[in-house]
Amino acid sequence: MKILNYKSKYALIVLLLFLATTLSAHADINRFLYIVKNAVIPMSDVIFLGKLAGYKTIENGFVTTSGENLSVAVIQVEVVKVLRGKIQPGEKQLVCSWFVQGNNADLGFNYGNDGDEITVLGVETTNSIQLPHFHYHWIGGFRYELEIMKWLKLPQKPIKDKERIFKTLSDNYEVVRNACNEPNLWP
């Protein structure tokens, strides 16, 4: 007599795949939160919850002497709640970072829709709040607010060189252009 029939084997395989996927996703979230806690929050002098209110992209917005040539996204965000920094609720802030054109999950740019809730962890400069990159510094929704509030007590390690906030492949080269530092950033 067979212990498992065809349907039982199929159900068992589906269950195992589901469990493997769930465990993998949980590990990815834990890794994400570990990096936010230990690397992103200490370097961020501005952390806030906001709502998207428009964007524009600038091709060749970030250029280095190595020949690295990246696009920049400038996003207008209405501040809902300030967790760190000198900005005020109700203000509209310009948030700026580099991205790779195309469908790159880690280095790409996906705006979403006007009114979407986001959490921003960045560095304030004269013309914008800059994010070293979108991954880890741009979180969809407000779902990690409680964790972030606890982590704000950690020692800060601010970025001192405001001209070199972006973390890219050309970290050791001079920046020729960073459109996020330009005064005419928003129409």
The CATH code of the domain that includes 56 is 2.40.50.120
Q: At 53, is the secondary structure helix, strand, or coil?
A: strand
Residues of the chain with pLDDT under 70: 1-27, 102-106, 169
Specify if 186 maps to a domain. no
The whole-number pLDDT of residue 170 equals: 73
The whole-number pLDDT of residue 1 equals: 47
The whole-number pLDDT of residue 20 equals: 44
The whole-number pLDDT of residue 83 equals: 97
Give me the number of domains the chain comprises. Answer: 1
Specify if 113 maps to a domain. yes
Asked whether the beta carbons of 135 and 35 are under 8 A apart, the reply is: no
Note the residue count of the chain: 187
The whole-number pLDDT of residue 29 equals: 77
The whole-number pLDDT of residue 109 equals: 80
Beta bridge partners of 2: none
Specify if 1 maps to a domain. no
Could you tell me the residue range of the domain that residue 164 belongs to? 6-181
Specify if 162 maps to a domain. yes
Specify if 112 maps to a domain. yes
Specify if 187 maps to a domain. no
The whole-number pLDDT of residue 4 equals: 60
Asked whether the beta carbons of 72 and 97 are under 8 A apart, the reply is: yes
